[in-house]
Structure 1
Amino acid sequence: MLNLIISVVPILLLIWMMTKRNALPSHIALPTTAAFIGLLQLFYFGSDFTLLGANIIAGTLSAITPISIITGAILLNRTIALSGAEDIIRQWLETISRNQVAQLMIIGWAFAFMIEGASGFGTPAAIAAPILVGLGFNPLKVAMLALVMNSVPVSFGAVGTPTWFGFGNLGLTEAELLITGRNSALMHAIAAFFIPVIALRFVVSWQQIRRNILFIQLSVLACTIPYFLLAQWNYEFPALIGGAIGMAGSILLARSNIGLETQNESNLNKIKHVSRSQIIKAMSPTLILISILIVTRIQQLGIKTMLNDATPLFNFQLGAFGDLSISQALIIKLTNILGTDTAWAYKTLYVPALIPFLLVVLISIPVLSLTKPMVKQVFSETASRIKMPLIALIGALIMVKLMMMGGDNSPIMTTGRAFSELTGANWQYFASFLGALGAFFSGSATVSNLTFGGIQQTIAHTVDLPQTTILALQSVGGAMGNMVCINNIIAVSTILGIANKEGYIIKRTVIPMMLYGAIVAVVSAFI
């Protein structure tokens, strides 16, 4: 019992610091929590000092992945904004519909759905949220909408990575993995009737939602019907193809004004129309980005394998610090850190920082006719935005590493076991929240599945519940945990220029996350 209390205290401390009246900013709260867990590991759990140091080094280096993605996203965002392309996109979207609900559903829901299917890594919010802010929506409200909307497609994000890779070490047969995917798709599809509506409420009034509810539900179904059908035979493409079909369908519905309240004709006449060539030019960075993401994520094309080629190219001995290696795909790996089993790796070409973000920025500079002063401004504005988030992310990732120290007796596993022992055969009603806890800490549905997939499988066998249902709940939990995931909140806040609002956001996004968990718990009872 004492171990459980000690394991939970850091979580409660972090939540308190970030949600109290005078909340601490994340770049203070997260490193403070990490330091507190480090002291607990050293003086209560009796962890080896060298192993503690190795995990601190690995956690610090792990921040390179999210911060490089955020940097690339901000670079692209500033390039599009300063070139004037953002204004063209805004004018084009207004020609489709000036209805705010339609714009939010097309970009915040369907477009982000498709991007999640292609890439994951927090890319949807990085691309969709700035477009919505460019349309005149409040950045803080958009951040919360983007976090809540980007939950349904996540179990099949990055071409199904959370499913096929996240559960890849559990010894499941292909049939069991497919059934797990089908179950999670069904749970997500049911939750999707409610979650986008709640997300919209962050930005628009209930009156606007009620007047446009038919369009909202048709836009939801345009994504979730192909998503669910594809999941019956495949766990790689449901989100990608479902999002593409859903975006096309949502645009068609909006153009035809189906399910939308009638707009004031005098306002419609004031819309400044833009030519097709202007639209194509302004959209070219986003179109190139999506194309590269799709081409580099589909296994069958072979490029994904090339970008993940771990064949060693160079090896360097760094003495007591560890062994550094660089592969043919420029995967940088540091192993045996401080002589321990702790390791770190960065997939230089696969993480969507250099490819596609930086690559698209470099292509866009001549395409969008940016001048040298504009280019300098793009890079200087980006550099100024990432300083505090870098500190916060280092704190978050060190915290994650230290919470996972100790194997089966780690604070995170102790907390998970306590949940299962408390609920027994009723575990299916709580399983998704363990997945959400994993995403909250790790910043990734995939890592949540890797971390808790084994314990979820063991619980299912122990209390005689179908493992495919429990693993589906874990997968859905990892996805809904994106709403409160610290890494994602920092990322979208940084991209939108929002400072010190992480606690405010968590307090509001945790409500739809809890509702999500309740919905899928009920659905699981009928599977």
Structure 2
Amino acid sequence: MALFLSIFPIILLIYLMVKRNALPSYVALPWIAAVVLIIQLIFFETDIQTVSANIVSAIIAVQTPITVIFGAILFNRFSEISGATNILRKWLGTISPNPVAQLMIIGWAFAFMIEGASGFGTPAAIAAPILVGLGFPALRVAMLALVMNSVPVSFGAVGTPTWFGFGPLRLAEAQILEIGSMSALIHSFAALIIPLMALKLVVGWKEIKNNLVFVYISIAACVIPYALIAQVNYEFPSLLGGAIGLLVSVLVAKRGIGLAKNKDEDTLDNQPVPTSQVVKALFPTGLLIVILIVTRLQQLPFKAMMNDATTWISFQLGSLGMFDISYGLVFTLKSIFATSINASYKLLYVPALIPFVITVLIALPVFAVSGSKTKDIFVGSFKQTRNPFLALVGALIMVKLMLVGGDDSMVKIIGKSFAAATGEYWTLFASYLGAVGAFFSGSNTVSNLTFGSVQLSTAEISGISATLVLALQSVGGAMGNMVCINNIVAVSSVLKIDNQEGTILKETVIPMILYGIIAALVAMFLIPILY
């Protein structure tokens, strides 16, 4: 009965989100959180004090990802309304007439960089319309955008799926870094094949073969710095890897290196975009990257200042707990409802106010954005965060309650059953569980929050490397983006594609399955040698 009640909420969640007339994640996840709450109170007889403290902790914890999402949406709305995105569209479309070059520059390298900065579905929403504007068929572009946007996702939105997605597990900093390192290695091997499968959805194998040298230059230009940066940092791999890859891909394409001569090259009717306009359009993204690097480098004082937890102001909030504000503006609620549970929010260090909001505030006068448009940017961004907020609150409450009870917790019970069923072979299945999480939630972050604890428990009980299994979970959450209903609906709506969700899913599920096979092979044969 304990096993049934532990796994029942997850099965119910999957059912609610994949059934006919499925519930969106922002409706299903809060309902499932309520189901877990009832099970904890009635069957596991958890005291109301512990349950309440975990709920409050989850509500505080959700401020971290939701403010990152708000910042990312704000940045992208500003780019769209200010005209920066439109200039980039025109510029990217004039670099090369070769269709494979256009698909790799925009669908791969540009989307890779956007994922690193913003995540949360924005790469497909920005890159796909550019490609359709260049004459590619909308349905095929939707498929390509979904498949391409997988490799960088574990480090999307400045690494949010990794550093926040596994936050409830209270892992050591070194272990989170190693998870990121292993994830990047697995993704890098998948990148040797997955972009080719994405290209095949739009152009033929002959065209891919004729331009294969350029394709692999573009892949390597993103993936090599991505994998190297992931060895020392879990926030920048996709952002910097994408930026370097985009620069290299553009320079190589302009020189025609590795590209077949296009018959229509001389008839390309595209006015070149002035360099000054391109520089101005890239200014916000460049500023974003600079601020992130300056505030994250260990060698500079800013990171330590923004994480300074030394108490500045402290006062009691009745029975709720002790509220503490540090010199680094870290807001902490301690001893919630007289329990040992604490929760905090780092105002300056969480990548929201710095760099997203600050970058937008600096860029607004540069682009001479009017007061009414500025209001529209901020108000629209707040509205767009409502549904992700509800989904994340539900996910975090569910996870925190499922972790209550230590060795007798719901996740430990599930972990024991998975371990008993698969034993040492769990590495073959771990990435697919992560993909299931992304499939129904639309987010690598939510997938890691939802299943990270189950994966950790299964690994510990099976005697497998917990770091490796969590890396596979992160990779699975990324590859699940290809088949995620939310993402399919989002890109279809952006491209005005009607009633083709099933068609898209049938095509994208094949590279997703292959991705999981590659992940399992790397995990079984290569990682034990390198780690």
TM-score (norm 2): 0.80
Matched residue type, 1:517: G
Matched residue type, 1:5: F
Matched residue type, 1:335: K
Partner of 1:458: 460
Give CA-to-partner distance per residue, 1:500-525, whole Å, 9 cap, x none. Answer: x9x98999877655433321222233
Matched residue type, 2:467: L
Structure 1 segment 291-310 matched on structure 2, within 5 A: 291-310=290-309
Structure 1 segment 126-525 matched on structure 2, within 5 A: 128-137=123-132, 144-145=146-147, 147-151=149-153, 157=159, 169=171, 184-199=183-198, 204=202, 212-228=211-227, 234=232, 242-260=241-259, 262-263=261-262, 265=264, 269-433=268-432, 443=445, 451=453, 455=457, 458-459=460-461, 462=463, 467=465, 471-484=467-480, 512-525=511-524
Offset of residue 217 of structure 1: 2.9
Using a 3 Å threshold, how does the CA distance of structure 1 residues 267 and 371 change in structure 2: closer, same or farther? farther
SS where residue 332 of structure 1 aligns?
Answer: strand
Residue 116 of structure 1 contacts residue 124 of structure 1 at CA under 8 Å; is this kept in 2?
Answer: yes
SS where residue 23 of structure 1 aligns?
Answer: coil
Residue 97 of structure 2 contacts residue 264 of structure 2 at CA under 8 Å; is this kept in 1?
Answer: no
Residue 58 of structure 2 contacts residue 393 of structure 2 at CA under 8 Å; is this kept in 1?
Answer: yes
Offset of residue 284 of structure 1: 0.8
Gaps of 5+ in 2: 133-137, 527-531
Cα distance in 2 for partners of 1:168, 1:292 equals 27
Offset of residue 57 of structure 1: 2.1
Residue 416 of structure 2 contacts residue 458 of structure 2 at CA under 8 Å; is this kept in 1?
Answer: no
Give CA-to-partner distance per residue, 1:305-360, whole Å, 9 cap, x none. Answer: 21111111111201111121111111111122222222221111111111111111
Cα distance in 2 for partners of 1:512, 1:250 equals 24
Task: Answer with 430-439 or 144-153: which moved more.
Answer: 430-439
Task: Answer with 394-403 or 360-369: which moved more.
Answer: 394-403
Offset of residue 99 of structure 1: 4.8
Residue 150 of structure 2 contacts residue 479 of structure 2 at CA under 8 Å; is this kept in 1?
Answer: yes
Using a 3 Å threshold, how does the CA distance of structure 1 residues 514 and 52 change in structure 2: closer, same or farther? farther
Residue 161 of structure 2 contacts residue 448 of structure 2 at CA under 8 Å; is this kept in 1?
Answer: no
Offset of residue 215 of structure 1: 3.2
Matched residue type, 1:28: V
Using a 3 Å threshold, how does the CA distance of structure 1 residues 244 and 47 change in structure 2: closer, same or farther? same
Cα distance in 2 for partners of 1:508, 1:322 equals 52
Gaps of 5+ in 1: none
Structure possessing the higher relative contact order (Cα contacts under 8 Å, 6 or more residues apart): 1
Residue 111 of structure 2 contacts residue 127 of structure 2 at CA under 8 Å; is this kept in 1?
Answer: no
Q: Tell me the number of residue pairs that the alignment of Structure 1 and Structure 2 aligns.
A: 509
Offset of residue 61 of structure 1: 2.7
Residue 431 of structure 1 contacts residue 477 of structure 1 at CA under 8 Å; is this kept in 2?
Answer: yes
Cα distance in 1 for partners of 2:377, 2:488 equals 18
Partner of 2:135: none
Matched residue type, 1:77: N
Using a 3 Å threshold, how does the CA distance of structure 1 residues 482 and 399 change in structure 2: closer, same or farther? farther
Partner of 2:21: 22
Matched residue type, 2:474: G
Using a 3 Å threshold, how does the CA distance of structure 1 residues 229 and 320 change in structure 2: closer, same or farther? closer
Give CA-to-partner distance per residue, 1:259-284, whole Å, 9 cap, x none. Answer: 44554537853112111111111111
Give CA-to-partner distance per residue, 1:53-107, whole Å, 9 cap, x none. Answer: 2222222233322222222222222222122222111111112235555345335
Using a 3 Å threshold, how does the CA distance of structure 1 residues 268 and 358 change in structure 2: closer, same or farther? farther
SS where residue 312 of structure 2 aligns?
Answer: strand
Residue 85 of structure 1 contacts residue 283 of structure 1 at CA under 8 Å; is this kept in 2?
Answer: yes
Cα distance in 1 for partners of 2:328, 2:487 equals 26
Offset of residue 192 of structure 1: 1.6
Percent identical residues: 41
Cα distance in 2 for partners of 1:340, 1:95 equals 61
Task: Answer with 12-21 or 261-270: which moved more.
Answer: 261-270
Cα distance in 1 for partners of 2:491, 2:377 equals 13
Task: Answer with 292-301 or 375-384: which moved more.
Answer: 375-384
Cα distance in 1 for partners of 2:267, 2:306 equals 47
Give CA-to-partner distance per residue, 1:157-200, whole Å, 9 cap, x none. Answer: 479959999999569899xx87x776555433222212334455
SS where residue 354 of structure 2 aligns?
Answer: helix
Using a 3 Å threshold, how does the CA distance of structure 1 residues 10 and 347 change in structure 2: closer, same or farther? same
TM-score (norm 1): 0.80
Residue 106 of structure 2 contacts residue 131 of structure 2 at CA under 8 Å; is this kept in 1?
Answer: no
SS where residue 309 of structure 2 aligns?
Answer: coil
